[in-house]
Chains A and B, each alone.
Chain A
């Protein structure tokens, strides 16, 4: 057994990626507050460090030192586990996303991805389904009516929007002919898939907004009705985990969008061929663009009502995704 390849490389890779995602998620909270402030003609956080850049750190310290309050009526084991499940599920999703080419580091070939699975897309879909467990269990175990309503909404919403999401992905697969994300990125060397699949991109983007409970589809946590929805009874570090899970989910979902529709680290090839790290920078830039879209939507749209939202999924988005898939299939067959 080669300790370096079999143990140290995977462990270091995993820790680096997890830390990067953690920092990404934490700074997404800061980024969102800054951006929203800009949309609303205010300053946003500007006290902790220059431009409030240390705000996430301050928040983390506060969350860690905050008194633990476990309400006496909860289902304790599930209640304590749920934020962890939520956060872990988000992190695990990132495992198959390639964020750069293979690079030469200290004489070893290291691919800038965690695992290069043949069934990468299936893995994505499967793990994305896991995320709803954290929310549903947390909301149910809190034994609170707001939480319960939030959890029930989350159940129906997250599973419903998995279907249009899956169908949009199918169109990508039909074009690329593979489930392997590295191959899909290679496929986009010339043109990113958004050029062939603009509708697929839109459907997918709407679906992930719903999957990550983001405004205007943040129905499981609707502040104006359900206080905080499924996380009403959570405080301190447990709340922080839910919170950062949501923001890390945004980062991960943006990474998925960037990989599947915006050409991943590869497109445009002119730039990514300059230097191995140029690919990583390109990937990051695309992720940031998608994240900006997230915040933009949140700062400008009112929330959709729950019944209309479900109707939109089943009676509009699903058939639309279906038609999109059929049309894609026919066109591919004809060419």
Chain B
């Protein structure tokens, strides 16, 4: 899956002698001090203009900050350049920030600072992003232990003999809650105010034709009807016009990644369901594809078809729901949303029969899927697909020409695809601005390369185009579903070999991405050859796409900001992880 890294390494060595200090598997290791210049060169001279993933991992002797560059140029879309920076100074880690080159680095660098305590020099606003200021320590460091810490990773040893003792029976009883709350040095929770971000907000006076007006800051969320969960935005308003938006994340944070590192490789699959709870199937998909790439695992044909069928059903309902919510935010009083939910129910019925659960499906396995489906299921699936096809047309006739919708959506939230690439925006939002980029096409996984489908694009990337984009993509998904249902082998294994209960994954490190309905869903995995991941990171599309919210919204009206947020289509389970 790698690009010709040798050639790139040679080119870099020629331009910057000594900048590439090592080659670690598929990763180039770049000297930290020269990172910005090399990155600038990669972006401007070599066309790798797209920093989609930035993360870090903690090793006993060093930190590593990893970057994944991709290109939007049609000739070199596909595999990108993975490179990393080693930070041996564990006491006081520093890395130059890339925010001046890629705006997509903003949120992700803040996340790394939050989780690992690595400082990014030159970052304009290096603050905790998912955790609050009163959190002691950086939880993804290996030496950080949570309050009820029992063991480094699962499977935990049996609690048998002492579980029978009268007391204490569990970690919860052994350590009382209060004693476990830690605060950083000099932090007083009673003095803490949840508005520390005020100092990043611009000055609070606006002078307009000699009329002085006060700047008003309004909290939107976390308890708000249209933030899709517990997102908080501090919106600066001048009258009705938005002057700034500062998203505050983390209200739903549960440190998915630490849970993952404690867990077995297999045990993570049900946790991925909870990332983007609107499309659990696709989260499973992304995760098992990543692990299979590490393991070199083959998947039987019938299982691949089932995976694609589940995945594309998810995409259709995600897009219909996104459109429904969009109209809800436009004030259409739930009507299109409830119509969309009706369709979702039909798909969830299928999921329930196949996997046993409607939402938390836990369906994909390494090398296959959990359960086979009956012929009857396939027949009903075909009926549902036909129905979805009809319903997409129905949505189209009902919504596309609505005068008020067009008036509100045209030109609102528009952004060029070049700028979106700089913000790391992926998925339907990016394609609606005109860049034909779909991971199913440029870096095919599973059996997507055998299907005949188009990657629709639109021109302006405004809300109306995003709406049309989702409509068009749902249609393409229906096309894929039809082909898959036609071609799926009637019988066959759904699991390569026997079901892995607790597989060992060969040591290695990779970043693997799939085209999730909301954008690029990436998994960065490091294995030390054991039964649980050494490092497990989710690059979620919603989180990175949210970074472009302010740029899309400023200058529009208050009402538009809400709609733009809706049109980015975020799920907080995935943003906050």
Contact = CB atoms under 8 A, between A and B. Distances in A.
Touch test A–B (CB under 8 Å): yes
Interface string A212-228: 00011010001111010
Interface string B553-577: 0000111101000000000000000
A41 B342 contact: yes
Contact of B404 (A218, A298, A301): A301
A115 B286 CA distance: 73
Contact of B224 (A227, A298, A302, A307): A227
Given A216-B404, A224-B226, A308-B407, A302 B334 contact: no
A39 B237 CA distance: 36
A224 B240 contact: no
Nearest to A300: B335
B226 A225 contact: yes
Chain B residues touching A, range: 20 to 34
Contact of B218 (A40, A145, A218, A307): A145
Interface string B400-411: 001011011000
Interface string B187-226: 0000000000000000000000000000010100000111
A301 B560 CA distance: 17
A304 B335 contact: no
B331 A216 contact: yes
A47 interface: no
B218 A224 contact: no
Given A36-B333, A40-B335, A299-B333, A224 B328 contact: yes
B384 interface: no
A305 B408 CA distance: 7
B335 A222 contact: no
A224 B407 contact: no
Contacts of B331: 215-216, 218, 222-224, 301-303
Contact of A224 (B338, B404, B562): B562
Interface residues of A, number: 27
B107 interface: no
A223 B224 CA distance: 9
B186 to A, nearest CB: 31
B305 interface: no
A303 B338 contact: no
Contacts of A42: 338
A250 interface: no
Contact of A302 (B226, B330, B557, B560): B330
A146 interface: yes
Interface string A221-245: 0111101000000000000000000
A4 B331 CA distance: 51
Given A218-B331, A223-B225, A224-B225, A40 B339 contact: yes
B332 interface: yes
A149 interface: yes
A51 interface: no
Most chain A Cβ neighbours within 10 Å, of B237, B338, B342:
B338
B327 interface: yes
B218 A303 contact: no
Interface string B375-413: 000000000000000000000000000101101100000
Contacts of B237: 149
B329 interface: yes
Interface in A149-169: 149
B336 to A, nearest CB: 9
A97 B469 CA distance: 52
Given A41-B339, A302-B331, A305-B559, 20 more contacts: A40-B334, A40-B335, A40-B339, A41-B338, A145-B216, A224-B225, A224-B329, A224-B559, A224-B562, A298-B333, A300-B332, A301-B331, A302-B332, A302-B408, A303-B331, A303-B332, A303-B559, A304-B407, A306-B240, A306-B557
List the 10 closest pairs (A to B, CB-CB), nearest first: A303-B331, A302-B330, A224-B226, A302-B332, A40-B338, A302-B404, A145-B218, A224-B329, A302-B331, A305-B559
Interface of A: 36, 39-42, 145-146, 149, 215-216, 218, 222-225, 227, 298-308
